Amino acid sequence: MKRLFDVNAIIIFLFLYLPILVIVIFSFNRGDQITIWEGFSIRWYSSLLGNNDVWRACKNSLMIAGAATIVSTIIGTAAALALEKYRFRFKSPISNTLYLPIIIPDIVLAIALLTFFSQLKIQLNLYTVIIAHVVFNIAYVTIIVRARLQGYDQTIEEAALDLGANHWQTFFRITLPIISPGVIGGALLAFTLSIDDFVITFFTSGVGYTTLSVYIYNSLKFGITPEINAISTMLLLNSIVFIILFLWFRTKNLYNIIGKS
């Protein structure tokens, strides 16, 4: 039975990750075909360096992801602190509502945001995409920071206040350094989700504000080339790097919690 489960797990992993591996391999293909290997080459990566459309899309992706990460990290951290440290009316409904963007399918959230912007007669542009990304990133940041706050000893803050520090000094010198692994981990995850997002970005971006994911989708209409594979490989590498960093901070976060308990 154990061997059967092992074989089943191997088949599932191959089904999920083998196509990704094929994309990475054929991004180094010398020829124009994506199914016929003609030799190793970095031709398509060199082609990307001279593609202004790709660089424009990359710039838009970085601007959106950077701005959305900063805003969602600030709001998400503040929300986590409020939910964990204070008691107030409607705390439970607010906490549950905050996680709706994670539960709701992307297509539903995208249509809802598009309808919202249309009702307010807001023209779709770079800022509408940033707002949309902030909406779903806040939930992820809040969850991660709240996990860091589990087991948090609030008597440390009380001691700082008794010694003459004000609330802002206590926050920046005591609270923030302690929860920083959770904050940084949440920010890294938010950046990764933002730069990889397609559905919500596609619905909320205007003309001239194409991101890398939308650029790939538009390019597929004219056929798949190894250049698309190269762009996809770069996005994959970006995601892997930031996910590894996120897991590292998350692990550090859990070790700190265990150490305090």
Three-state SS sequence of the chain = CHHHHHHHHHHHHHHHHHHHHHHHHHCCECCCCCCCCCCECCHHHHHHHCCHHHHHHHHHHHHHHHHHHHHHHHHHHHHHHHHHHCCCCCHHHHHHHHCHHHHCCHHHHHHHHHHHHHHCCCCCCHHHHHHHHHHHHHHHHHHHHHHHHCCCCCHHHHHHHHCCCCHHHHHHHHHHHHHHHHHHHHHHHHHHHHHHCCHHHHHHCCCCCCCHHHHHHHHHCCCCCHHHHHHHHHHHHHHHHHHHHHHHHHHHHHHHHHHHC
Q: Give the confidence band of 252 by pLDDT, cuts at 50, 70, 90.
A: low
Q: Which two tokens stand for residue 229?
A: 């594979």
Task: Work out the mean pLDDT of the chain and round it to a whole number.
Answer: 82
For residue 88, count other CB atoms closer than 10 A to its CB: 8
> Nearest 5 degrees, angle CA 144-CA 149-CA 155?
165
For residue 103, count other CB atoms closer than 10 A to its CB: 10
Q: Give the confidence band of 249 by pLDDT, cuts at 50, 70, 90.
A: low
Alpha carbons 181 and 144: distance in angstroms, whole number: 9
Choose among 154, 147, 141, 174: nearest CA to 255: 147
Q: Give the confidence band of 83 by pLDDT, cuts at 50, 70, 90.
A: confident
Q: Give the confidence band of 168 by pLDDT, cuts at 50, 70, 90.
A: confident
**Mean pLDDT within 52-64:** 86
**Mean pLDDT within 83-87:** 81
Q: pLDDT value at position 250?
A: 63
Q: Which two tokens stand for residue 165?
A: 């520090």
Q: Please list the residues that pair with 3 across neighbouring strands.
A: none
Q: Which two tokens stand for residue 241?
A: 């790097």
* Rg of the chain over all Cα atoms, to the nearest angstrom: 22
**Mean pLDDT within 127-143:** 92
Most confident of 123-137, 171-185, 203-217, 241-255: 123-137
